[in-house]
Amino acid sequence: MNGKSVLLIVGGGIAAYKTLDLIRRLKERGVTVRTVLTDGGAHFVTELSLAALSGEPVHRDMFATDTEGRIGHIQLSRVSDLVVVAPATADLMAKMAAGLAGDLASALLLAADKKVLLAPSMNVKMWNHPATKRNVETLKRDGILFVGPAAGDLACGETGSGRMAEPAEIFAAIEAQLIEHRPLAGMKALVTAGPTHEAIDPVRYIANRSSGKQGYAIAAALALAGAETVLVSGPTDLAPPYGIKLVKVNSAREMLAACRAALPADVAIFAAAVADWRPETAADAKIKKAGAVPSFRLTENPDILAAVAQGTPRPRLTVGFAAETENLDANAAAKRTRKGCDWIVANDVSDGAVFGNDSNRVHLLTEHGVEQWPELSKREIGERLVLRIADALKGIEA
């Protein structure tokens, strides 16, 4: 996104403070951020803070002119690649839907010739009001884009939908609009992520350690590359990446069924930490302590990677993951052969530090040998892997 430009309109809501983090994220990726601060927004953030983080002057005056005498609200929309409103209040959205232009923000939105992305933020009753619903439908028909709102605790003390999306989610939505090179456009991708939970009884389960962060990062990178992406996820606390279809599952058998339902696909990446075994029979009620340690028989779970890599319809490219505690490359190479997949991404988990971490160090095993990648963030690993996938798919017969 280096060299792109975003115009950020800060509406009047308590969530306005989150825009400071959003500006920081955008600046780190080389995006120029110009800001418009509404009168309502000025109650929650200052011109000084916006100017300091963006490195640009803050615009507030409807009738200000630049040094060449051009009307500010026209010129601001012309020099931006995307217009973002965060927080987008009920009042601002109502003005947009009605085509009003009585202040700088609404006039700029009416004059904008670029895409507009809204991050709504308001009380749950306001969000659910019929007038707001009508306005949202009108804006969507007009081509306005939305990210959020989420459900949760609101600043007013109530709970429900209306909470502004977090800066990371808004950033991802902006990123999806600004990135022009989409090498996987028109292709379908399947990703698995997170652990599976295999029930012992209604409150206990067997699982492998996994945060799901790497699989979610890969799904996000696939979506940014233009792929129609289905993410089949075991239980995690992660927000779904922007632009993907999320299918939530618990057990390995549920995950396999969801993967089969997502086929055919051009590429399938199996980053989930699937439990190898499950109790043969799960108890219907919680097992009580009774002075003796209970015993139960384990049975093997389905092998999801092998089932897809060796099944029909087979993705053009299948990528597995191998978490190993010893003999990393040898064990990963044997897994690649045994499962019938094209590539294996291997990492050493012997010290347990990688679980839940934001970075990783992996080896990529292909038919050409082993590539040792340096330590990278999981986001960077996802992006790097997706670029390799795009190059590989160019040479694979459709």
For residue 367, count CB atoms less than 10 angstroms from its CB and return exposed for 0-12, middle for 13-18, buried for 19 or more. exposed
First to last CA, the chain: 30
What are the C-alpha distances in Å from 309 to residues 266, 318, 362? 12, 6, 21
Residue of 156, 203, 334, 353 marked active site: 156
Please state, in angstroms and rounded to a whole number, the distance separating the CA atoms of residues 326 and 78: 57
Taking phi first (over 0 means left), then psi (-120 to 50 degrees means alpha), and beta for anything else, what does residue 194 get?
left
What would the two tokens of residue 302 be? 């389905």
Query: Helix or strand or coil: residue 279?
Result: strand
Segment holding 24, helix H or strand E: helix 18-28
Amino acid found at 271: A
Please state, in angstroms and rounded to a whole number, the distance separating the CA atoms of residues 168 and 339: 35
The strand pairing partners of 159, in sequence order, are 153
Please state, in angstroms and rounded to a whole number, the distance separating the CA atoms of residues 250 and 259: 13
Closest CA to 357 of 221, 210, 197, 193: 210
Our answer to whether residue 341 is catalytic in this structure is: no
Q: Among all residues, which ones are annotated catalytic?
A: 156
